[in-house]
Structures are given as structure tokens and as C-alpha cells.
Amino acid sequence: MPTTTAPEIYDPYRVCPSRQLLDRIGDRWTVLIIGVLEDGPQRFSQISRRIDGISQKMLTQTLRSLEADGLVTRTVFPEVPPHVEYELSELGRTLLEPLAILRAWAVDHMDEVAAARTAAAA
């Protein structure tokens, strides 16, 4: 086992809590939704508009999971018509830096990876 890595991460899927959590936060939609909520509270329709390609169903599911995990809070405003806002919790905000580092890596290295893919396909 690498000394730099918690061994339990490598346990069978669904057995270890940190492994389950890694699966969750590694999900592409989670990464994108948390990035959108970095700007502050937003409505479902606002999040939906900013993440092209996400279905309403997938956005609903992912927001529910994030809420159950304590990463996102959901607030209902009793206005007419009522509206709902989603916001990062304090715990959710601790994920911002790790995910920003991952996104930055993707942006910085996409050209190298694209070149490798082209070479592999040739």
C-alpha cells in the first residue's frame, strides 16, 4: 500500500465510507454543480441553465444526494410563487479547493491529453 494513501480507499466498493465518498465527489455532475454554487445560492433553473447537458432528472437526483450528504442546503422561500434555493453548506465549501485544483489540472493539461489521444488513434 502506498504510504501516502489511506488504505481504506482501496476497500471494496460500498464497504468503506471514504471510498463511497470518493465515488460521490468524483462524479462529474457533482464537480460541476459544486463549481456553479461557488458563486452563492441559486435556483434549480439557474443551475440547470449553467450546466449544459445535464438532464432535469440527473440534476434533481444529484442535488438530493448532495443535500443528504450535508454538502448542499435547500431553502424554500414562502413567497408567491414560492421559490427554492440551493446553497453550499460549510462542509460543502471545504470541497471547493480540492475540486478547483482538479478543474485547473483538466484545463491546464487538456492539450497534452488531446495530443496523446490523436497519436494513439493514428
9 is a contact residue toward a copy of itself (CB under 8 A): yes
Complex with a copy of itself: residue 6 or 84, whichever CB lies closer: 6
98 cis-preceded (ω within 30 degrees of 0): no
End-to-end CA distance of the chain: 36
Complex with a copy of itself: residue 80 or 107, whichever CB lies closer: 107
CB 109: neighbour CB atoms within 10 A?
A: 11
Q: Show the binding pattern over residues 25-44: x = contacts a copy of itself (CB under 8 A), - = does not.
A: xxxx--xx--xx-xx-----
> From the list 76, 80, 107, 122, which residue makes contact with a copy of itself (rule: CB under 8 A)?
107
85 is a contact residue toward a copy of itself (CB under 8 A): no
Beta carbons of 72 and 92 less than 8 angstroms apart:
yes
Complex with a copy of itself: residue 26 or 83, whichever CB lies closer: 26
Beta carbons of 74 and 29 less than 8 angstroms apart:
no
